[in-house]
Structures are given as C-alpha cells and as structure tokens.
A and B are shown apart, each in its own frame.
Chain A
Amino acid sequence: NAGVTQTPKFRVLKTGQSMTLLCAQDMNHEYMYWYRQDPGMGLRLIHYSVGEGTTAKGEVPDGYNVSRLKKQNFLLGLESAAPSQTSVYFCASSYGENRGNQPQHFGDGTRLSIL
C-alpha cells in the first residue's frame, strides 16, 4: 500500500534552475496539498487542489506553480530556484469532505537545497 509517494527524495539545484516535484497518491483522494517545512515554522501551505483540474494558492505561493492534470498526481514547479526555497517539501492528500474532519496523509518529503 503505497499511500503518498514523492519524487525525488533529495535534490540540489543551482540558483536560477528549474525543477518539478511529483506527488502521487493511490487512495482516490480529492484534495491534495503542497507544504514546505522550515525549522521552527511548522508546515506552511504553498498550493492545494480540491480536485482534478483545480488549484488554489496557500499561504506562501510566490515562486511556485502547480498542476493537477490527473486526480492521482499533483506537481509542484519551481521556475527559477532561489536560495530562499531551500526547504523540505511535503505533499499530502485527503478525502476532502466539507466537514473538514478528514485527516491528511503525508509523503516522506523532498529535501531540496538551492545553492
């Protein structure tokens, strides 16, 4: 049972380079999320999606783009990487019912360093 899978697990980029982080879930969840985790700041929401073909901004969306072309996949893109984007990135998914009592399922994270 794979759950939420993030690819790659580690990456080092140079300033100005671009890359895409892939998140895949096999639980048929409607909602998917991208967070970044920085020391002492908990997780902050970058973008999220409430279903295939939809995306919305979170707390810290600048410098990132996302796409949800298929229900099971949620891609996070960095067009021009900056050192401030050095972080650990987590993808999560949930069933997304209106009551909001559905927990999120998390991947193991992608550790990204921008030099």
Chain B
Amino acid sequence: AQSVTQLDSHVSVSEGTPVLLRCNYSSSYSPSLFWYVQHPNKGLQLLLKYTSAATLVKGINGFEAEFKKSETSFHLTKPSAHMSDAAEYFCVVSDKYNFNKFYFGSGTKLNVKP
C-alpha cells in the first residue's frame, strides 16, 4: 500500500520566520499529492495540490510545496509565518490504482510563537 510520512509531529517557529513541514511518500508511480490544513475543531481545508503540471506548487496563504521525484518528497514551505498559521497540517497521497482514494500522513502541528 502507498504510504506517506510526515517527518515531524510538532514544529515550532517564531512569527516572521520561515516554515518547513516535511513530507515523504513511498510510491513507484507519480501520485497526486496534497497538503491540507486543519484548524482546531474544524474540518480540513485544501492548501495546495500537485498533479504533475509543475514541480513547484503555490497554494493559499503564501504556502508553497516542491515535488522532488528523486527524493520522493513534497515539503511545504512558507517564507514568513503568521500567528494564524498555527494549525495541524496533513500531507496526502493518492492511491496507485484508484486515483480518488487517498492516504493521509499522521499530521504536523505547527506552533507559531509571537
């Protein structure tokens, strides 16, 4: 089965500093990849998606992610963290045989310090 690994369960940054949330996937094919954000007591909201068009993907709220096939990585970045970015982030990969079935990473909780 496909798997996705988020390398950090918690990340803490200061407001105004860069954010890096790491995601690796195991795959013998080129999957669709997504990042979602979840604020407390809310559902998940799409940040961005990769679908083989361009390796650098821009999302909402200033987030970006770069697809690196050689490293099987899809890390999420933002140049300058804002207090409102504090949330949990999930990396998601599509299934090899059913492109509308997905596997979620275990999540990374981002804390932003003032």
Contact = CB atoms under 8 A, between A and B. Distances in A.
Interface of A: 4, 31, 35, 40-45, 48, 50, 58, 90, 92, 94, 96-104, 106-109
Given A43-B90, A100-B99, A101-B32, A108 B104 contact: no
A100 B43 contact: no
A14 to B, nearest CB: 24
A108 B43 contact: yes
B90 A100 contact: no
A100 B44 contact: no
B99 A99 contact: yes
B106 to A, nearest CB: 5
Contacts of A41: 106
A108 B100 contact: no
B32 A42 contact: no
B50 to A, nearest CB: 9
A4 B46 CA distance: 14
Interface in B23-50: 31-32, 34, 36, 41-46, 49
Nearest to B43: A106
8 contacts: A42-B105, A42-B107, A44-B104, A45-B102, A96-B100, A100-B95, A100-B99, A109-B41
B51 interface: yes
A92 B102 CA distance: 11
B100 A4 contact: no
A42 B104 contact: yes
Contact of B106 (A40, A90, A96): A40
B94 interface: yes
Shortest Cβ-Cβ A-B pairs, 9 listed: A100-B99, A106-B43, A101-B51, A42-B104, A43-B104, A103-B46, A100-B94, A106-B44, A42-B106
